[in-house]
Amino acid sequence: MKENEILNCWGGLHGKIPRFYFKSFDAIIAPGDFCSDATRKYMFEAMRKNMTNPLKKKICWYDIVGRKKARKMVSKSIRDGRKILEKLNSYGVPVYEVPGNWDWTPRP
């Protein structure tokens, strides 16, 4: 890279759109976690309950909040992640991204 070229790297955004303090750059590297993480506290709560009572039937985070609310939470998380990706794409430079562990991706 030339001395005056700038490369931005953003990661772990968790639903928050980043602020850019540079006027020009050649590419954006975004190592995931675009989607918001409001489900996280329920995921950890379910994990704690499962670890405390390993012989009981396993519960999932969506059992705690209810499936209807869980669907809404996941939909919002995906929308938040999409807004970030659209913002990154709006700068007119290549965006290189890898989904993070909080990004909702289809199962293989």
Domain ranges within the chain, ordered by starting residue? 7-97
Which helix or strand (DSSP H or E) is residue 65 part of?
Answer: helix 61-65
In sequence order, the 6+-apart residues with CB closer than 8 A to the CB of 1 are 7, 26
Model pLDDT for residues 35-93, shown as the tens digit of each residue:
888 899 999 999 999 999 888 899 999 999 999 999 999 999 999 989 988 988 998 88
More confident site: 71 or 30: 71
Identify the pLDDT of residue 99: 82
More confident site: 22 or 46: 46
Confidence of residue 108 (pLDDT cuts 50, 70, 90): low
Phi and psi at residue 7, to the nearest 5°: -120, 120
Identify the pLDDT of residue 75: 92
Looking up tokens 């931005």, which residue turns up?
8
In sequence order, the 6+-apart residues with CB closer than 8 A to the CB of 55 are none
